[in-house]
Structures are given as C-alpha cells and as structure tokens.
Amino acid sequence: LRARPELVAELAARTHVILAHHPVHDRNGKVVTTSVTNFDIHDIARSAATYGLAGYYPVSPVRLQREKIERIVSVWKKEITQAGAQNRGEALGTVRVSASIEEAVAHIEKRAKARPWVVATSAQTSALAPCVAPVELFAQRVADPGRPLVLVLGTGWGLAESVIAGADQLLEPLYGPGEFNHLCVRSALAIMLDRLFGRDSEARGD
Ligand code: SAM
C-alpha cells in the first residue's frame, strides 16, 4: 500500500499531531504540566509540513504558555515572510494552539465530521492500549477513509497513563539496537512520520 503515493498523501492529509505539555510525567513519575520548548514549535511544524499533515496542535492548559506559542509562531512567520522563505511560513500555518488534548481532538472532529482515531506514543509498550506497528496502522487507517488520524506525543518524561488508556492504540515504541530508547520528541516524531509516510527514491520514481 505504501508504494501507492496517492494513498500515502491521502492519509497524511487527514493526520494530525498533538504535542501534550499536560498531562505528562516528570522524572519522578508525577503528573505535571511542562513548559513549552521553542524548538518543538518550529521543528515539529516543519516535519508536519514535510510529510503533508493536516495540522499540528501544541497543547497547554496554561494561558501564558499558549500565548508564548502564539508569539513564537507569529514572530517566525513574520521573519520567514520577510526573508522570502514562504514555504517555511506555510509550515507554521498548520499550527493551532489548544488548552487540552480533548479540545484539540474535538476541533479535529468538528472539522472532519468524523471521530478521530487517536494513537498515543511512548518509549514503552503498555497494557493500557493495544500496540500497533506503523505498517499495520497505515493499512488499517487507509481502510477507514474519512476518519482523521491523531498522533499524540508527550513532553517531559512522557504521556500520563490516562492519555494512553484513552487512546485507541499505542504506536509501537522506537527501538535502537541497545537498551537506551529515549528520543527527544522532535526526533521521535520525525522517525514515526517517515515510517508512516516516507517515500524512498524508488517510490518517487527517481
Ligand atoms: N520515557 C518517556 C516515554 O516513555 O515516553 C520519554 C519521553 S520523551 C522525552 C517525549 C516523547 O517523545 C514521548 O512522550 C514520546 O511521544 C516520544 N518518544 C521518545 N522516545 C520514544 C521512543 N523510543 N518510542 C516512541 N516514542 C518516543
């Protein structure tokens, strides 16, 4: 299926990323709200645009943090437009700040008029949600046209159990050859998007 570019593009165009700053774990396993990291806004927007996604929702329940995200987006948009790098400005156009994961999902549902399929992510598997490999997720979602796909990523030490338990599936964790598998969220997302929507030269017909 992945060899068919029209299917890849169609699914990507109904896929959204949520970056949760709450509810997430801190290093002691406590559920907390993290602060926004500048790079996460810009770099994830660029990944979302590169892989043709429908939207990117940074989520924070803290009004000042949401305002900070809006400010980052508007400053970059202005700088980018002035520099003539229009395509990078377009990447930031997919950003929509929300107060909660539920609010972001409700917004996606309203736009698509269909219940989104929500997939949580973690560096570990969990008994709280069925695990799905990227290739299976792709095939299953292509077979369910019209339904938006939502990938939820965490900050801090990862998503709280309540988010994983409330998701339809958990994406199979990314593993390297060794035991250490804690990627920064920007890197983790880029790898996930490439596994779901990436094309090699052969698929591109180069
Ligand atoms: N220990 C945390 C966990 O189990 O998710 C790592 C948190 S990491 C700094 C922040 C986010 O990046 C995670 O919530 C997840 O979305 C993503 N992430 C990091 N490493 C990952 C991996 N190996 N597999 C899947 N997702 C990963």
Task: Summarize pLDDT for 118-156 with one digit per residue, the tens.
Answer: 999 999 999 999 999 999 999 999 999 999 999 999 999
Q: Which atom belonging to ligand 1 lies closest to the Cα atom of 189?
A: 17
Q: Which helix (H) or strand (E) holds 118?
A: strand 117-120
Of 78, 187, 156, 159, nearest to 70 by C-alpha is 78
Q: Is the pTM of this model over 0.85?
A: yes
Q: Which atom belonging to ligand 1 lies closest to the Cα atom of 120?
A: 16
What mean pLDDT, rounded, does the chain reach?
92
Quick one: average pLDDT of 52-63?
A: 96
Closest-CA residue, ligand 1 atom 22, reads 123
pLDDT at position 97, please?
96
Closest-CA residue, ligand 1 atom 15, reads 122
Strand 169-171 and strand 55-59: the pairing is unpaired
Whether residue 88 is predicted with pLDDT greater than 60 in this model: the reply is no
Whether residue 205 is predicted with pLDDT greater than 70 in this model: the reply is no
Q: Which atom belonging to ligand 1 lies closest to the Cα atom of 124?
A: 4
Q: How far is the CA of 184 from the centre of ligand 1 (A)?
A: 7
pLDDT level of residue 13 (50, 70, 90 thresholds): very high
pLDDT at position 80, please?
67
Tell me the best of 122, 164, 184, 191 to mutate to test the pocket of ligand 1, counting ligand atoms within 8 Å of each CB and taking the most: 122
Whether residue 16 is predicted with pLDDT greater than 60 in this model: the reply is yes
pLDDT level of residue 94 (50, 70, 90 thresholds): confident
If phi over 0 gives left and psi between -120 and 50 gives alpha, with beta otherwise, what is residue 173?
A: beta
Q: In terms of pLDDT, which residue wins out, 94 or 40?
A: 40
Closest-CA residue, ligand 1 atom 1, reads 157
pLDDT at position 28, please?
98
Quick one: average pLDDT of 59-71?
A: 97
pLDDT at position 129, please?
98
3-state secondary structure of 54: coil
- Give ∠ CA 35-40-146 in degrees, rounded to 5: 110
Q: For ligand 1, which residues put their CB under 6 angstroms from it?
A: 121-124, 153-155, 157-159, 173-174, 181-185, 188
Instruction: Give the dihedral sign, CA 113/145/16/80.
Output: negative
Task: Report the alpha-carbon distance of residue 145 to residue 101 in Å, rounded.
Answer: 23
Task: Give the side-chain half-sphere CA count within 13 A for 110.
Answer: 6
Quick one: average pLDDT of 8-34?
A: 97
